Chain A
């Protein structure tokens, strides 16, 4: 009641004052945005870079009184952040923003992957979460959340894209691009303590790549046995019904049940001297394993975080 009374007695002077304050607030808001953007663009400190990106994500630049017609999107901020983070880590050019003249939907490219472009898409579930994927395919290769400091790779999408969609591309080139993604994840982990789910890109020995089916029929193992033997690799029987395959350079692939017979949890693990081989690289390096995986994809698909990607 009293508020209404006050409004009624608003003078012209008050009105103008309010108006100019609102403009000023809007402009200050704009200035803050520009400052953060400059920081994103110019800082040489990784911490400041992350702070700027977090600040700019979901930044409400427009106010009732001041509207900015040209704005970078939140997706763009993520991409600029990654590109600059690589530069600051001495890895310029690993990822190039390919259309800087187009404000609002920046795309990027990997040197080794030609004209294929990639971009971010906002997650529908998490306001600060973004999916990174190829522009022409609706596949999230990874999920990035700078606010909660998380990066999660999506195993089956990575395989679908790098193994199936890009079939015919040199393995070296595919690995070069994947190497950039791996490097980024490592930098995020080491510089800021990000939680990373490397999924099929995890090269740590013994990392368990869990198959979607849980249980797998014996015929699938038979197929691996026959396909391996065709390439002069012998699939050996292991304890507990599992099997292992010794590949080139003493790289060892194991397929086994980590669960119980009642609640089977089949999956694969890789052991190699340098711990560089991961599930995706293995599929690229050994066409017969790739064929086996793709023939039985329904069962052998590697699970990713279902909450984030589901």
Chain B
């Protein structure tokens, strides 16, 4: 390689480098300007140009667009906080039942509803315009929608079982007098049995009867014990039933709210899947309106 070609190569390299750096500077300048102007639509384009082109613009890309987001990625928290402002306002209209709490800069918990003991339903990701629902909470809701079709509720079986157990215990407690009478009768019979002085050939039968009476008495005493422990158990079951009814009440409210806003769970899910496109469209319409003014 002669010196001339070497120099050319180096000078070419500088051109490339310079152009790349100026692209990056342009990128950061654009991002900065968009933030200052409050042009969130542009910010989204800068954050993920490929997603923007395909999902928001509906373009089909033959090759990937240059993506410089890594330059600003360490400012994720601040960007997320910035973007959350308009996004949450938008979501307030489309998802009026979601509430957000910024528990850390740019990080948001989603609460379903503002009723008593509302559920923490996951996280909001303003950078990617996405709900990250907590799997467990979401699944219960999905299950509740599913069971509703069969006229059932998530906690029906457990609640029924606890209710039946309580009925049984109440019955046991209520039957105490009856058992006391039975025990008294058995004790009398036992006494009579013990006072018998049977003929040798009858002794076996008398002894057998004695055993039978003792067993019956023991069984009644066992039931007495269950009844005696019944009240705390009933209270415990009632508390469980209350917790389950609360869960059902919450699920009901969630379903009501989803239906009021979206008509169905499917429509809700569908809207979640297209949240990015829908939101960016709304931002685009907004900027057109303000441009027109």
Q: A229 contacts B249, CB within 8 Å?
A: yes
Q: A222-B246, A225-B246, A226-B249 are in contact. Are A234 and B115 (CB under 8 A)?
A: yes
Is B89 an interface position by the 8 A CB rule? no
How many B residues touch A, CB cutoff 8 Å? 13
Residues of chain B in range 159-204 having any CB-CB distance to chain A below 8 Å: none
Is B252 an interface position by the 8 A CB rule? yes
Q: Mark B230-249, 1 if CB is under 8 A from A, else 0.
A: 00000000010011011001
Chain B's closest residue to A224 (CB) is: B116
By a CB distance below 8 angstroms, the chain B residues around A218 are: 117
Q: A229-B249, A229-B252 are in contact. Are A222 and B242 (CB under 8 A)?
A: yes
By a CB distance below 8 angstroms, the chain B residues around A224 are: 116
Q: A229-B249, A229-B253, A234-B253 are in contact. Are A222 and B243 (CB under 8 A)?
A: yes
Is A223 an interface position by the 8 A CB rule? yes
By a CB distance below 8 angstroms, the chain A residues around B252 are: 229
Stretch in A168-176, A235-243, A280-288 with 4+ CB within 8 Å of B: A235-243
Complex formed: what's the CA distance from A287 to B243 in Å?
Answer: 22
How many A residues touch B, CB cutoff 8 Å? 14
Q: Of B115, B242, B245, B246, which is within 8 A of A237 by CB?
A: B115
Is A249 an interface position by the 8 A CB rule? no
* Smallest beta-carbon distance A221→chain B, Å: 6
Q: B246 contacts A235, CB within 8 Å?
A: no
* 8 pairs from A and B in contact (CB 8 Å cutoff): A223-B242, A224-B116, A225-B117, A229-B252, A235-B116, A236-B115, A237-B115, A243-B116
* Smallest beta-carbon distance A102→chain B, Å: 45
By a CB distance below 8 angstroms, the chain A residues around B249 are: 225-226, 229
Is B255 an interface position by the 8 A CB rule? no
Is A274 an interface position by the 8 A CB rule? no
Q: A222 contacts B115, CB within 8 Å?
A: no
Q: Of A219, A229, A236, which is within 8 A of B242 by CB?
A: A219
* Smallest beta-carbon distance A128→chain B, Å: 46
Complex formed: what's the CA distance from A146 to B134 in Å?
Answer: 65
By a CB distance below 8 angstroms, the chain B residues around A226 are: 242, 245-246, 249
